Amino acid sequence: MNNLTPFAVILLLPLFSALAILLFHKQLKGAAALISIGSASICALLSVTLLGAGDEIYTLFPFIHISDAISFDINALIDGQSRGMLFVVTFVGLLVHIYSHQYMKDDDARPRYFGSLSMFMFSMTGIVLADNLVMMFIFWELVGLSSYLLIGHWFAKPSACEAAKKAFLTNRIGDFGFMIGILLLFGLNHGDVSFADLKDSFQSGPLNHLAKSQPEIITAAALCIFMGAMGKSAQVPLHVWLPDAMEGPTPVSALIHAATMVAAGVYMLVRCSFLFVASPLAGDVVTGIGAVTALLAALMAVQQNDIKRILAYSTLSQLGYMVMAVGLGSSEAGMFHLYTHAFFKALLFLGAGAVIYACHHEQDIWKMGGLRTQTPATFVTFLIGTAALIGVPFITSGFWSKEAILTVAWEECKICFFVGVLTATLTAFYMTRLFIVAFLGKPRSKDASHASDPPLTMVAPLLILSVMSLVSAIPWVSHKLQAMAPHGHHSDAHWLIVGISITALLVGVGGAFKVYSGKDADPLKLTLLANRFYFDEVYAVIIKYAQDRFAWIITGIERIFVDGLVARLPAAIACRIGSAARSLQSGHLQGYTFLLGAGIILAVYLAVFVLPRLGT
């Protein structure tokens, strides 16, 4: 068997599954889910075996081939990052597929759901394997499509279709920049946009000189590329789509809007990290945006009441953490957190899904309560997920990856460190709040009092992810996952940092217990946070005036001036000048065709009789 085959299978199997479901969904019915799950299982198994594969670039398929210099190819770049990411994507993907089989049991449109899920697996694998920017852009757009399809799965619900549209369009704004960045690098690097060649060129090639002599254009390219990541990884100010994306089915939120797709922005930044080495200014911007996102999103999470939205803002905040780490120059710390976060955030979302399932689609945490006794399995796994997210010291994976980021921040930028600690405190606070309100105390609604644990096919993925949330940071495991756990990166201030972060954790958890323990309604009333700093409202005004009103004005101008000047004015002049024109315009069709015929006759006449004479 050729070395290339497993990668082609991992990439194409989900595509075939999606196509088969699209074409034969009527005939397949329930079997559609099995096809999709089957393809996900094979991919997950393959990616486990491939964890030991060597670094290489496999040529799969030339997409657009013009010349040897200019060619956009579909290749598979295999290295530590893509092997580890492939494992995370296919592994979490498989668990979500299995979980969905039960969760979506009563949905009539299950074939469409599983088809879209397979489509997502195909596109996400493409991003992971991409060896050049154009290939990454292609699959980048395709995950956008799958995300659009899955958010809008319940298309009869207006809020779901609006959310799907918003997600796609917000990403499009990011991709506007991404494309400009790709084009700039394409032109500057002689038409080669592969990561390997760009990296060489930045280290010791033409782009290295350019970065010194013309830093502006490199900074511009880097910032444009970063814009793509801002869209996909939902960084402020393009973050507004992610909370709304929670309108999709919960397993989708776990897979796409928590563990994998939203992390693609971070993955892409890591792939392009040479850009931010070459342009420190761009790196600073990345750090700043990441830090602001981490803090703002954590603040917004404090006052949300929808269990999924709390987790969504938490995802935003953690993505901000990762982006900040990459901006500070530590791709390793960023990727490490990406891996651990993928497991525990998927766990939390699937746990939230189990809660929602048990409470008959109730998502307001204030209508839950007392789930500890009703749903013990969900309770335990959710507790582990929460512990990992808030970074309970030493036993959870989240602690180690957060420490890695805080260590980098301590060394590179003290303000970032401060923001990181503040965010960690807030994270501990809002997650404890969620936990106390939903799981402790007494049931606050009929649904909550009748809740019970979901069936095994939903609980099993929770258990597996709980184990991963605990062990994925143990060096042996993270090494196996090629997770690039920051090796021996012990700061002098190591114990100081650990001390500060444990203090932050205790403050957050203690504060939440103090405020929320035994409460039936939210005692805090922070309107600014509850309204998410009014981002959506401001954007609505911008869209209304800067886009829709502007379009209205432009349409008026186009009607009156362009059409007026080019068509009506000459027509009016013609009417004044000749009565012949007036009689033609009297409205008889014969007249128009006559005019046209006359034009053709004139053309023939000119060609046959006039031109020869002119020529001689």
Exactly one of 161, 277, 281, 530 binds another protein (CB under 8 A); that residue is 161
Q: How far is the CB of 90 from another protein (least distance, A)?
A: 21
C-alpha span between 530 and 8 (Å, rounded) = 47
DSSP-based three-state secondary structure for 364: strand
Which of 277-285, 310-318, 497-505, 565-573 is the region at the interface with another protein (rule: CB under 8 A)?
565-573
For residues 444 and 520, the answer to whether their CB atoms sit within 8 Å is yes
Contacts of 206 (CB under 8 A, 6+ apart): 188, 189, 190
> Tokens standing for 60?
């799969």
Contacts of 554 (CB under 8 A, 6+ apart): none
Question: Rounded to 5 degrees, what angle do the CA atoms 86, 90, 96 make?
Answer: 145
What is the per-residue binding string for another protein in 575-604, x denoting contact by CB under 8 A?
----------x-x-x--xx-xx--xx-xx-
* 12 near another protein, judged by CB under 8 A: no
* 142 near another protein, judged by CB under 8 A: yes
* 563 near another protein, judged by CB under 8 A: yes
Element (H, E) at 220: helix 215-232
Nearest CB to another protein, comparing residues 63 and 418? 63
Exactly one of 103, 137, 267, 382 binds another protein (CB under 8 A); that residue is 137
DSSP-based three-state secondary structure for 191: coil
Site for another protein in 266-285 (CB under 8 A): none
Which of 34-42, 62-70, 370-378, 393-401 is the region at the interface with another protein (rule: CB under 8 A)?
62-70
C-alpha span between 483 and 331 (Å, rounded) = 11
Q: How far is the CB of 153 from another protein (least distance, A)?
A: 11
Which of 42-50, 166-174, 347-355, 512-520 is the region at the interface with another protein (rule: CB under 8 A)?
166-174
Amino acid at 295: L
* 30 near another protein, judged by CB under 8 A: no
Exactly one of 4, 34, 70, 573 binds another protein (CB under 8 A); that residue is 70
Nearest CB to another protein, comparing residues 196 and 551? 551
Nearest CB to another protein, comparing residues 149 and 483? 149
Q: How far is the CB of 31 from another protein (least distance, A)?
A: 18
Instruction: Name the nearest CA neighbour of 351 among 423, 234, 438, 433.
Output: 438
C-alpha span between 163 and 298 (Å, rounded) = 21
Nearest CB to another protein, comparing residues 224 and 301? 224
* 560 near another protein, judged by CB under 8 A: no
* 188 near another protein, judged by CB under 8 A: yes
* 214 near another protein, judged by CB under 8 A: yes
Exactly one of 105, 190, 212, 544 binds another protein (CB under 8 A); that residue is 190
C-alpha span between 341 and 405 (Å, rounded) = 13
Q: Phi and psi of 74, rounded to 5°? A: -100, 105
Neighbours of 199 (CB within 10 A): 18
Exactly one of 510, 524, 548, 572 binds another protein (CB under 8 A); that residue is 548
Element (H, E) at 74: strand 71-78
Exactly one of 22, 46, 502, 530 binds another protein (CB under 8 A); that residue is 22
DSSP-based three-state secondary structure for 311: helix
Nearest CB to another protein, comparing residues 496 and 546? 546
* 538 near another protein, judged by CB under 8 A: no
DSSP-based three-state secondary structure for 4: coil
